[in-house]
Amino acid sequence: MIRCREIEIVDLDAIADLLANGFPVRPRDYWIDGLRRLAVRETPDSFPRFGYMLEHDRTPVGALLLIHTARCDGGNISIRCNLSSWYVQPAYRSYAPMMTKVAQRHRDVTYVNISPAQWTWDAIEAQGFRRYCAGLFFSFPALSRPPRDMRVEVVRQDTQAIDGLSESDVALLARHALYGCLVLVCRAADGRAFPFVLQPMRLGRVSLPSMQMIYCADVADYIACAGAIGRFLVRRGWISVALDANGPVTGLVGIYREPIGRKYFKGPHCPRLADLSDSELVIYGP
């Protein structure tokens, strides 16, 4: 008998084994480390902490990992769910729709798929997902003119307060520093603070030392701070910052590429570009 149920703490080792077999390019530690982060991460009430699994004879034969996050937008709380990884053993794939249907049953939740394989695009769109990001813009920020008297500050995981930023902003930055991201605040001459979260990017055969923009409050902030960020990064061996885009970004020097970086969503709120915070990229890794 096949049943679908939530993944629980006692299942984590078996789920890591299953996913390591399903995704041979990822070592088992990649999965178990991410699952352990989810185990201690704050998850909205009534939503699964890890995701769902298909079980046969008390053994997992399929898994769909989920990352639920509560977000505050204009005083309203909304839930975003990152559908992060899906694998079902070939003999049981006829049961996979049961798992995906259970995982996507909440109409008030915004579901995102930020790393869809190209061969899944048609199936994702058939499920009602819409594309919100078509590609990536690889910017070269050191070629931008730096703002006068702007400082770049590194945020640590134990940071508790930052002048000019709210408590929730500081908590987001410290949390991502704990995940291993490079977290920066650009301080303008007038004291304004602009937060950024960056992460080294995997580009396969492309030998371009790139960071990926995980979070900024607005792309316009990055355009304004690019010169300062670029000089900070070049001294550390990074020459490019990739950000989600739907075309070339005015005000930045760089190269736009499609369809690398294509992303989808389904639900009431279209995700904002340049906000991949609390996603699989930081929980599990690039």
Task: Give the tens place of pLDDT for each residue, 152-171.
Answer: 999 999 999 999 999 999 99
Q: Are 173 and 277 in contact (CB under 8 A)?
A: no
Q: Is 32 exposed, middle or buried (0-12, 13-18, 19+ CB in 10 A)?
A: middle
What's the pLDDT at 204? 64
What's the pLDDT at 76? 80
3-state helix, strand, coil in the chain (%, to 5): 30, 35, 40
As given in the structure block, the two tokens for residue 65 are 């990992």
Confidence of residue 71 (pLDDT cuts 50, 70, 90): confident
List, for residues 227-243, the tens digit of each pLDDT value.
999 999 999 999 999 99
Q: Is 256 exposed, middle or buried (0-12, 13-18, 19+ CB in 10 A)?
A: middle
What's the pLDDT at 72? 78
Asked if residue 206 has pLDDT above 90, the reply is no
Confidence of residue 144 (pLDDT cuts 50, 70, 90): very high
| Cα dist from 150 to 143, 188, 193, 238, 242, whole Å | 16, 5, 10, 19, 22
Confidence of residue 18 (pLDDT cuts 50, 70, 90): very high
Work out whether the CA dihedral 226, 228, 231, 234 comes out positive or negative: negative
Least confident of 15-29, 66-80, 244-258: 66-80
Q: Are 68 and 62 in contact (CB under 8 A)?
A: no
What's the pLDDT at 187? 97
Across the strands, what pairs with 113?
A: 264
Return the number of other C-beta atoms located less than 10 Å from residue 180's C-beta: 12
As given in the structure block, the two tokens for residue 97 are 């729709």
What's the pLDDT at 202? 77
Distance, CA of 250 to CA of 252 (rounded, Å): 6
What's the pLDDT at 195? 98
What's the pLDDT at 109? 96
List, for residues 103-141, the tens digit of each pLDDT value.
999 999 999 999 998 999 999 999 999 999 999 999 999
What's the pLDDT at 77? 86
Phi, psi torsion values for 158, nearest 5 degrees: -100, 10
Confidence of residue 66 (pLDDT cuts 50, 70, 90): very high
Mean pLDDT calculated for residue range 186-204: 92
Sequence-distant (≥ 6) Cβ neighbours of residue 197 within 8 angstroms: 172, 173, 176, 181, 182, 183, 184, 213, 214, 215, 216, 277, 282
Asked if residue 205 has pLDDT above 80, the reply is no
Mean of the per-residue pLDDT values for the chain?
A: 94
Asked if residue 44 has pLDDT above 80, the reply is yes
Mean pLDDT calculated for residue range 88-117: 94
Any idea which residue has 């390019």 for tokens?
25
Mean pLDDT calculated for residue range 186-211: 88
Percent of the chain with pLDDT over 90: 91
Least confident of 38-47, 107-116, 135-144, 196-205: 196-205
How far is CA 61 from its chain centroid?
26
Distance, CA of 270 to CA of 268 (rounded, Å): 7
